[in-house]
Structure 1
Amino acid sequence: MNKEKLLLELSSRQKEAVEYSNGPLLIVAGPGSGKTRVIAHKIAYLNKIKKIPLNGILAVTFTNKAAKELRERCQNLLNLSEDFYLDVKTFHSFCSRVLRFDGELVNVKNNYVIYDYDDQSRIMKKILKELDIDSKQVSSSLILGIISDAKNRMLSAKNFSEHVDSYIEEIASRCYEKYEEFLVRSNSLDFDDLLLRCLNLFQSNNYILDKYQNFYKYFLIDEFQDTNPLQFEIAKILANRSKNICVVGDPDQSIYSWRHANPKNLLDFEKYFKKTKIITLDQSYRSTKKIIKAADSVIGYNDERLERNLWTDNPDGEPIELLESFNDEQEADSVISNIKKLNLSLNKVAIMYRVNSQSRSFEVACNRENINYKLIGSVKFYERKEIKDILSFLRVISNPADNISLERIINLPARGISSKTFSTLSYLAENKNTSILELIFQICEEQKFDLLTKNNISQRAINSINNFSEIIKSLVISSKKEKISDFIDTILDLTGYGEFIEEDLEKGEERIENILELKSSALEFSTENFDNDLVDFLENISLVTDLENNLSAEEVEGITLITLHQAKGLEFDAVFLVGLEEGLLPHSRSLDDPNDIQEERRLLYVGITRAKERLFLSRSRNRKFRGQYGPQLSSRFLSEIPNELLKISSQNFKESNNPYSMYVRKKLLVEKNDISNKYSHNFLVADKVFHKKFGEGVIISIDEKSTDYEVTIAFNDQGVKRLMLSYAKLEKISIVEENIDDDFIKDEYYEEEI
């Protein structure tokens, strides 16, 4: 392949980005500007023209799906066979591979398991119970968020304890220490650990750092605006020697600050890498002119950005339609009615919203009209009970120290080992400084059952423990002989789990089909990776992202219902952005912070630029909150779209004295008090507040009473207090937590970027 042929179909800007290969390069790529094509062509250029071997190029993406797409493009571009090797990984998968090979230098055993958010929550709930902390007052998610923030600031449990300056942080510090002890005992890492331990390894061992710096001749990182502090440090240390690093991103699409992503990593890139070449890809090949103008107008109100203007050669297109409805039910009906008028394939249409709870009214409307839909973010394949059960068996076989997985399967199917018995085993194992399974093996091999009898474990339970020990030993032997897909059958047979789910008359058939799909996944993994390693298979599953985890998302014809966060990277012929109201978009937790408002605006920008041909914006004048309807202010962002781009379509409204019943073409200057007057208060969990008597504290729960609200506050110096809100006379200082939605965190926490 010659240079002319390789660059033939690229624009002049794209060619420039592909050819520049001597020193640091920042590609600012707007939505729909062909950045994936540029990255693929750049890899081909480095390989064919600059003669860098493919395995000497490290390309980092933020999802496994993006990595797979990039590999396929490079394969087609270079006309490679299916078994070619190209190092395209996510940050987490790259760091995990480093730790598998060299992690023991930082005390990480190579058969560790990766705990997901569900695992972490279970651990933290145990710790809170052990420390006698009321989980209703201090949630596991709040503590895990503080610990994650500490790890992203590169603070160990010990270092964090030295920086505590509030009551809630003191609790988090105690939990952090216990949490780390649990992970060590279980030979487990969380997602932050993958990054932190890898960075620690590079910082503490020059030999290992030299090995990776010398092996890779060029570094490519996509979606750089989404990197967190740990990822940026890893990028800097790896490319520090050669300076041959290309980062691609768009600060206007940075929407993950709640998981520590920082657009300044991209904005300040040239401060860390001197003589950086900056190339802007600002031509959109996706959207119509009207859609591009609307997006550019909205994002222009942000100040933390690189100045540039999106443009396109595409047609002007249809006007952007603004749908105004009386309430959220009417909003859903209006959206579905407009979708039916489009006469598009349902797969080409998406309804996007700020929080998951907004999907309900659209699901109801779809069901009423017999319209298929795909709910992205519903129960994901790898989170289904039967799949987590089988994976827990696999994890215990792979890592006998995994006490969390052991707890899930030790009495599955029921074999007479109660939770009380398991707690006793856990206590005994902790005293002997060993894992629960190793303790069981030791007791059963040496016939030391009196230890169990002395601790009030019944003979029936002892017999069950002994039987379970034999089952696990047999499975360990089988795991070394069989393909993973066949080994799953062995698990179903030896443990009795297969028979157990077959007896489920209601969901048994569906669960068997899901397990068959898991077997297919295992077979595909072994074929694609020429590998039958159980540790690698489990790691691959642990690093699956949210959209990839929705197995049937692309298999069913239907409208896509999806949050704006989850929609990043996707495109549709027609997009409906709903709930454009103050308190939803921008979210209520963002109203007091200018930086948060800018991120909310970026979120809308992402939504607008998902649309190729048709864009609909929707707002409701009234919305149900706590079971009652209240008036809604139109989103301030609507006033940032030029009038000439919009076509306003209002429904027939009921008579209303609502003072906000107006068209939204006036520019709204929203005062803080205007928002808070909608309800009896404007406080939220995690708000930092001041009380005249008790001083500063953090709100950890708000409970509605008949005529008031009871607020629970963790005060820095006075401990936890419960106060009636109307009498407390609290002053809001700031918001402690990042912008995390309660109904969004479990689906997204630690996942999208993997």
Structure 2
Amino acid sequence: MANLDPQQLAAVKTDSRMALVLAGAGAGKTRTLVERVAELVEGRKVSPYEILMLTFTRKAAQEMRTRLEERIGKAAYRVTIGTIHAVALDLLRRFSEHLGLKGKSLTVYSPWEEDFLLREVATDLGLYKSGKWTGVNRGEVGFCFSMYYTDGIEPEEDDSVRKLFLAFIARCRENNAVTFGGLITGMRLLLNQMPAASYLQWRHILVDEVQDNDWLQWKIIHEMRRILEASLFCVGDVDQSIYEWRGAVPDYLVRHAHEFDVFRIESNYRSTSEIVLAASRLIEHNQNRLPKTMRPARVEGFASCMLNGVEAWPEQDSTALACAINGYLDINSHLMPSEVAVLARNHKLLEALGETLKQYGVPFVRVGESTALTNTEEFRRFHAFLKLLVNPYDNFAFLLIKDLIGLSMPAYAAIRLRAVMESTSHFLVWMKSGTIEGWQRLFDEARNWKLSDTLGNLYSILFDPSLGQLVGESEWNPITGMVKAHEFARAWSASNPSGTVEEYLSWLATYDLQDELKAKEKEDAIMLMTVHAAKGLEWPTVIVAGMNEGTLPSKQSLGSDTAVEAERRLAYVAMTRAENNLILAVRPEEKIVNGRTYRSPISRFVAEAGLAQEPAIEIVQ
């Protein structure tokens, strides 16, 4: 542990059963977590099986395991490491009978599938007709499910949404499925319905990026700690909490810090002093935080002839910014394109920049395209075939493919009726019917195939003209989307040659933007991504695009101190991704479109970081 600084060492060596490590950006939180596990295993002779590490992304979990293996050897593979959603899925598959589900065949519905199925259930209840909600407000439906997924709260008896909610949950159980949001809720139910202390060995729980937990995740962590009589070692930073829009509660740490023994690690080993000081000046404007002093620790490295650590570029619309990036790479010839990242508040700005970069011949990859593909109808229909191989009880997956296998509405209705009479699934009834031999043979034989073999045979039969499938027979023209879905699955199979359909679907169930990034980061190209996707990453040069009022901070946040604080944290995270050079690119403050003048002054965050005069806070004429 000679490589730890005094603050890190104090955290690693603590005997506290409730420790909170406030880790500033670039302060070595991963090193601290790895050394804490090494201390438990080697110093205190704790069994690796007794350790649970929860990370925010799968990419972070893989990095944690790699570094842990380097530190403690093969014992690292006996430590449970994963996102809370991945751990929840594993527990639900292992102990699903406690919730009335059917073991490993459990499948997970994406938000797109959830919305599709919700409309189907609402239609059966007469609450959704001709593409419109009737008798219930769609906003109230969304709020109800959001409360269930983030707080674990079901609608009250007199709530107009309750009937739909209960019918939807029952339909999921009938299909032996859970929604992605329901993974965490299911995990909590499981912990309270099974003798967890007897089944689970975890006695030490370590949580990374703890500031991004929602209320339900906090409840689960504390319930596991209580039920398992485990110690809790949390690492996080309120200043880097940027996921409130999906339920994170950074305020939890502010209000509950007194329940922990608090340690601070404040030396920044990532960035130059100019970057550290600029980011510190910015975040000090936030009031709702746990103060810490971020100190630059590294010896200054190379400073380019174009910059001296931090600079603001004015008047950078997409065309000017692309030109400037091209010039920047020419002047700084020692830089590889992959050492540069452009971060923005939203995808729209990145799309426009990407189109212009093409004209200059600058290599780039835009993170978010594959993730968008996973939410398309074509992608979900293609994968419904695979889900049925794992979970033959999934009536919803069968619904998604019924037209693709040539099943008419009368035939489908007959199958549903027979399934009710025989207490079985729609798919299993259809498999017995022998209506289209090629399809039934495919499903019957594919159960013993690897994913690569399954994909090849599925693709060939989907596009077999003799079956009359897909080509010209559907309003939604699925050809392109189906091909891309096939290519997506083939890419995973190429990286996992012996992988099974079940393993692939488990991986896909918790797919996120950083999984997409992992597939693209080997390319020598500039990375274009949102700030949210860049969380936990770093590059020698970072360009933050769109540093204007109305973009960062967003137009919706203006007028609310709390919302602006959330946007300031987002800007802080963006700035602290930079190692050597940080560029804040400001779009033109005034532009005329169709005779109207639009004003978007320079972001207040640029001034707060000490790089410009205070801007006027106005957005549109």
2: distance between equivalents of 1:160 and 1:337? 60
1:153 maps onto 2:151 in alignment: yes
Correspondence list, 1:82-481, <5 A = 84-110=77-103, 111-127=105-121, 131-132=127-128, 143-144=141-142, 146-156=144-154, 159-160=155-156, 162=158, 164=159, 170=160, 172-173=161-162, 175-205=164-194, 207-212=195-200, 215-240=201-226, 242-271=229-258, 273=259, 276-315=260-299, 318-325=308-315, 327=317, 329-343=319-333, 344-380=335-371, 388=380, 391-412=383-404, 415-418=405-408, 420-421=409-410, 424=413, 428=417, 432=421, 435-441=425-431, 444=433, 466-467=435-436, 471-472=439-440, 475-479=443-447, 481=448
SS in 1 for 2:542: strand
- Distance apart, 1:305 and its partner CA: 0.7
Question: 2 CA distance for matches of 1:223 and 1:389?
Answer: 34
Contact 1:217 1:244 (C-alpha < 8 Å) held by counterparts: yes
Pairing partner for 2:579 from 612, 632, 640:
612
CA distance in 2, matches of 1:427, 1:421: 10
Provide structure 1 residue ranges, at least 5 long, that are not aligned to the other structure.
1-6, 165-169, 445-464, 527-531, 647-663, 680-754
Report the counterpart of residue 593 of structure 1 in structure 2.
560
2:621 is the alignment partner of 1:632: no
Preserved CA contact (<8 Å) 2:431 2:440 = no
Letter of the aligned partner of 1:92 in structure 2?
H
In structure 2, the CA distance between the partners of 1:394 and 1:188, relative to structure 1 (3 Å rule), is same
Structure 1: how far apart are the matches of 2:30 and 2:262? 17
CA contact (8 A) 2:271 2:576 kept: yes
Letter in structure 2 aligned against 1:148: S
Corresponding letter in the other structure for 1:404:
F
Q: Match of 2:614?
A: 666
Shift of 1:264: 2.7
Match of 2:590 among 619, 622, 631: 622
Separation (CA, whole Å) in 2 of partners of 1:507 and 1:204: 42
1:456-513 per-residue CA deviation (whole Å, 9 max, x = no partner) reads xxxxxxxxx7116x7336524541x333443444444566669989999999998775
Shift in alpha-carbon separation, 1:20–1:423, aligned structure 2, 3 A: same
2:2 to 8, 11, 14: 8
Task: Tell me the distance in 1 between the aligned counterparts of 2:187 and 2:481.
Answer: 42
Q: How does 1:689-728 map to 2 (within 5 A)?
A: none
Q: CA deviation at 1:220?
A: 0.6
**Letter matched to residue 567 of structure 2:** E
| 1:59 match: secondary structure | strand
CA-CA distance at 1:365 after TM superposition: 1.8
For 1:506 and 1:551, locate their aligned partners in 2 and report how far apart those are by CA, in whole Å.
Answer: 24
State the distance in 1 between where 2:140 and 2:311 align. 40
Alpha-carbon contact 1:61-1:67 (below 8 Å) kept: yes
Q: Structure 1's 586 and 8: CA in aligned 2 closer, same or farther, altered over 3 A?
A: same
Task: Report which stretch shifted further, 425-434 or 30-39.
Answer: 425-434
Structure 1 residues 50, 139: CA separation in 2 closer, same or farther (over 3 Å shift)? same
Q: Against the structure 1 CA distance between its residues 638 and 209, is the aligned structure 2 distance closer, same or farther, given a 3 Å change threshold?
A: same
Partner SS for 1:321: strand
- Given that residues 386 and 515 in structure 1 are in contact (C-alpha distance below 8 angstroms), is that contact kept between their aligned partners in structure 2? no
Structure 1 pair 485/506, CA: closer, same or farther in 2 (3 Å)? closer
Aligned mates of 1:243, 1:507 — CA distance in 2: 47
Q: State how far apart, in whole Å, the 1-side matches of 2:566 and 2:212 are.
A: 12
| Separation in structure 1 between the aligned mates of residue 205 and residue 67 of structure 2, nearest angstrom | 18
Paired with 1:34 and 1:599, the residues of 2 have a C-alpha distance of 24
Query: 1:56 maps to which residue?
Result: 50
- Assess, with a 3 A threshold, how the Cα gap between structure 1 residues 191 and 346 changes in structure 2: closer, same or farther: same
Alpha-carbon distance in 2 for matches of 1:364, 1:627 = 26
Report the AA paired with residue 20 of structure 2.
L
Q: Is 2:42 the partner of 1:42?
A: no
Residues 154-208 of structure 1 deviation map (CA, whole Å, 9 limit, x = unaligned): 222xx3454x5xxxxx4x5554344323322322101221111211222244x22
RMSD between superposed Cα atoms in Å: 3.4
Shift of 1:613: 0.8
Aligned-pair CA distance for 1:46: 0.9
Residues 90-99 or 548-557, more deviating: 548-557
Shift of 1:236: 0.3
Give the AA of the match of 2:497. L
Change (3 A) 1:187 1:591: same
User: Is the alpha carbon distance of 1:512 and 1:125 closer, same or farther for their aligned partners in structure 2, counting shifts above 3 Å?
Assistant: closer
User: Partner letter of residue 363 of structure 2?
Assistant: N
Contact 1:502–1:509, Cα closer than 8 Å, also in 2: no
Give the Cα separation in 2 of the matches to 1:625 and 1:228. 42
Using the alignment, how far apart are the partners of 1:69 and 1:502 within structure 2? Answer: 43
Q: Which amino acid aligns with 1:613?
A: N
Return 338-347 or 351-360, whichever deviates more: 338-347
TM-score normalized by structure 2?
0.86
**CA 1:248–1:508: 2 relative to 1, 3 Å:** closer
What is the aligned-residue identity percentage?
Answer: 23
Indicate how the Cα distance of structure 1 residues 333 and 595 shifts in structure 2: closer, same or farther if over 3 A, else same. same
Aligned residues of 1:501 and 1:511 also touching (Cα < 8 A): no
The residue aligned with 1:682 is none
- TM-score scaled by length of structure 1: 0.72
2:491 to 517, 523, 527: 517
Q: Deviations over 1:319-354 (max 9, x none)?
A: 421111175544444454445433321101111111
Partner of 2:475: none
Q: Which whole-Å deviations, capped at 9, do the CAs of 1:556-581 have from their partners, x for residues lacking one?
A: 22111111111111111111111112
Asked if the contact 1:485–1:522 (Cα under 8 Å) also holds between the matched residues in 2, the reply is: no
Evaluate the alpha carbon distance shift between residue 472 and residue 15 of structure 1 in structure 2; reply closer, same or farther with a 3 A threshold: farther
1:294 alignment partner, SS class = helix
The answer for the alignment partner of 1:693 in structure 2 is none
Q: Which amino acid aligns with 2:196?
A: I
Unmatched 5+ stretches in structure 2: 473-477
How many residues are aligned here?
598
Q: Is the 8 A contact 1:475 1:490 kept in 2?
A: no
